[in-house]
Amino acid sequence: MSIYIPTPEELEAKYEPHTILLLRQLKIPDNLRGFTYLSSAIPHAAANPSQILYVTKELYPYVARKFTSTDSRVERDIRNAIQIGWRLGMQEPLEQIAGTSVPQRPTNSFLILLLANYIRLH
């Protein structure tokens, strides 16, 4: 009897729809590039947990290559999407996901880590 272990690519495909729903719950508008980058970065980080530790060295370059962009644009657009989501009322749904209070706007790394862990566990 063999045990099937899904590939990281299969896990990413599995996690992506859930990620998109979470980003919408967090009030991040779909039309932002940062939304698109997050919807790719979070499933990738969930499927490849070591990537969470190296957001700027591995995750941003991965997303940049995927969308023919640069690391700095990816970082900036994700930060902008989080800022807009925060202004539109991200705090309450984020606290429900985190299970604790989130008194200030999350950093890119914190949000990616939190959501990657959340979708991996749910």
Protein fold of 8-121: Arc Repressor Mutant, subunit A (1.10.10)
- pLDDT score, position 1: 64
- pLDDT score, position 4: 82
Q: What tens digit of pLDDT does each residue of 65-85 get? A: 999 999 999 999 999 999 999
Stated length of the chain: 122
Strands (DSSP E) along 1-122, which ranges? none
Q: Confidence band (pLDDT; 50, 70, 90) for 95?
A: very high
Residue 37's closest CA among 10, 8, 11, 64? 64
- Give the span between the Cα atoms of 72 and 61, in whole angstroms: 9
Q: What tens digit of pLDDT does each residue of 21-64 get? A: 999 999 999 999 999 999 999 999 999 988 778 898 999 999 99
The residue ranges of every structural domain in the chain are 8-121
